[in-house]
Amino acid sequence: MNDLSLAIDLGGTKLLLGVVDRKGNILASRRYPSPLAEGKQQHEIASIMLDCIDDFSSKAPMDGVKHLGAGVVGRVDDESGLWLEIEPGRCETVELEKLLRQKTGLDCHIDNDVRCAMRAERVFGAGRGSNDFLYMNIGTGIAAAFVTGGKVLRGHSFNAGEVGHVAVDVFGDVPCPCGRRGCAEMIASGVGLDSRARALIHSYPASRLQIPDGARVDAKQIFDLAETGDELCRRLMYEAAEAAAALIMNLVWVTDPETVVLGGGIVSDGRMFQSILSRLNAGSMRFASGGVRLSTLDPGLTGLIGAAMCAFQMP
């Protein structure tokens, strides 16, 4: 008998809905524009999600769908089913799980998007079988999910894992909107590479890096140009890899994981990943016997599969 989940992955670039089975197979999916980018309030975004469920349900085969899981950005109280915040300054408690249940009548669960991705890694990916692992997403921003002794770390305010604001360059001059200086996110993420490129480009008149208006600097272009010897891009990549490696080692000293899994668009093509690996110190990493691994899951689908695992309450 089918036992399927309707999965919802709400990210900064897309809203993805799909029907997923317990083995992580995606039987149907549909992509919608992300309502996050337009600066909407959370209740408006929740309302758009409900509309998308209507549209998706009218087009996709829903036979056997009994559960619903949603992974959303920001702080999530997964026990009470509350979506508390998108980011600092965009806080509005929305009873998202209740709204989804009222809409669909399904068994509904919600969680933070990075914790959902961690679930996918834990069930199907590089974190499989490990009770002590760290999943870190290096994409637009940087965030992590920690599994220690088989338990997921959530924190007093459900804000555990916002490791992009661990400072790795405390005597540097890189400001962060959080109020600190030298946060890893402002050096090593997509947002960080963009802002560092804009801050440094005038000191490198020979650089061929394109700085677009109204869009982020393309990280892949930075990596391509670094390989051709472009001094600005070599510096950006060097600093990003140093910052990410410092962050990983700092976290390894805190939680002593068996395995570290890296996912997200900045590391997915392997170049930044290799650069980070080469900067890890053997002494710091000596007990991480499972190593530092690059996610083997499709980065565009990890969140959706993870949302389904949240629906099934796996693991």
- Site for Zn ion, rule CB under 5 A: 165, 176, 178, 180, 183
Q: Are 140 and 308 in contact (CB under 8 A)?
A: no
**For residues 178 and 314, which CB has a smaller minimum distance to Zn ion in the complex?**
178
Q: What are phi and psi of 221, to 5 degrees?
A: -65, -40
**For residues 55 and 87, which CB has a smaller minimum distance to Zn ion in the complex?**
87
Q: Are 190 and 222 in contact (CB under 8 A)?
A: no
Amino acid at 115: R
**For residues 53 and 183, which CB has a smaller minimum distance to Zn ion in the complex?**
183
Give me the least distance between CB of 164 and Zn ion, in Å please: 7
Q: Are 226 and 260 in contact (CB under 8 A)?
A: no
Give me the least distance between CB of 191 and Zn ion, in Å please: 11
**For residues 187 and 260, which CB has a smaller minimum distance to Zn ion in the complex?**
187
Give me the least distance between CB of 139 and Zn ion, in Å please: 16
**For residues 98 and 165, which CB has a smaller minimum distance to Zn ion in the complex?**
165
**For residues 192 and 257, which CB has a smaller minimum distance to Zn ion in the complex?**
192
Six-digit token pair at 214? 């109204």
Q: What are phi and psi of 218, to 5 degrees?
A: -75, 115
CA–CA gap between residue 128 and residue 162 (Å, rounded):
23
DSSP 149-173: TTEE---TTS-TT-GGGSBS-TTS-
**For residues 162 and 230, which CB has a smaller minimum distance to Zn ion in the complex?**
162
**For residues 24 and 192, which CB has a smaller minimum distance to Zn ion in the complex?**
192
Give me the least distance between CB of 117 and Zn ion, in Å please: 21
Alpha carbon distances (Å) from 138 to 114, 240, 269, 287: 10, 11, 12, 23
Give me the least distance between CB of 185 and Zn ion, in Å please: 6
Give the strands of the sheet with 259-263, arranged side by side.
151-152, 142-148, 133-138, 259-263, 291-294
CA atoms within 13 A of residue 301's CA, in its CB half-sphere: 16
User: Widest CA span of the chain, in angstroms?
Assistant: 64
Give me the least distance between CB of 167 and Zn ion, in Å please: 7
Give me the least distance between CB of 170 and Zn ion, in Å please: 12
Give me the least distance between CB of 165 and Zn ion, in Å please: 4
Q: For residue 49, what are the contacts with CB-CB under 8 A and spacing of at least 6? A: 8, 10, 15, 35, 70, 100
